Amino acid sequence: MVTESEITEVLRTINDPEMPISIVDLGIIGSVSVAGAECPGAGTIVKIDVLPTFVGCAALPMIESMIRQKLAQLPDVTSVEVNFKYSPAWTVDRISPAGRESLRHFGVTVPHLRTALGNEAAIETLTCPFCGSENVELESSFGPTRCRMIYHCLRCKNPFEHLKRLNLPVC
Partner 1 sequence: MPHDDSIPERDKKPLAELLLSIADDKLILGHRNADWTGLAPILEEDIAYSSLAQDEIAHASAFFDLAARLLKTTADRLAYGRAATDYRCAELVEFSDEFDWALALARSFYCDHFDRARLARLARSKYRPLAELSSRLAAEEQIHVDHVDSWIHRLGHGGAEAHERMQNALDRLGDLAQTLFETNDSIRECERLGYYPGDEQSIYDTWLEGLRTVAQKAGLSVNVPVPDSNRQGGRRGHHGAGFAALIDELTEVYRIEPEAAW
Query: Which spans of this chain sit near partner 1 (rule: CB under 8 A)?
Result: 54-58, 86-87, 89, 139-143, 146, 150, 164, 166-169, 171
- Give least dist CB 115 to partner 1, A: 20
Comparison of 61 and 132: residue with beta carbon closer to partner 1: 61
Which lies closer to partner 1 via its Cβ, residue 25 or residue 161? 161
Least distance to partner 1, CB of residue 86, Å: 4
CA distance 72 to 163: 32
- Pick 51 or 77: Cβ nearer partner 1: 51
Q: How many CA atoms lie within 13 A of 33 on its CB side?
A: 10
Helix axes 4-11, 60-72, angle to 10 degrees: 130
In the complex, least distance from residue 54 CB atom to partner 1, rounded to whole angstroms: 6
Task: State the nearest-atom distance from the C-beta of 67 to partner 1, in Å.
Answer: 19
Q: What is the 3-state secondary structure (H, E, C) of 114-141?
A: CCCCCHHHCCCCCCCCCCCCCCEEEEEC
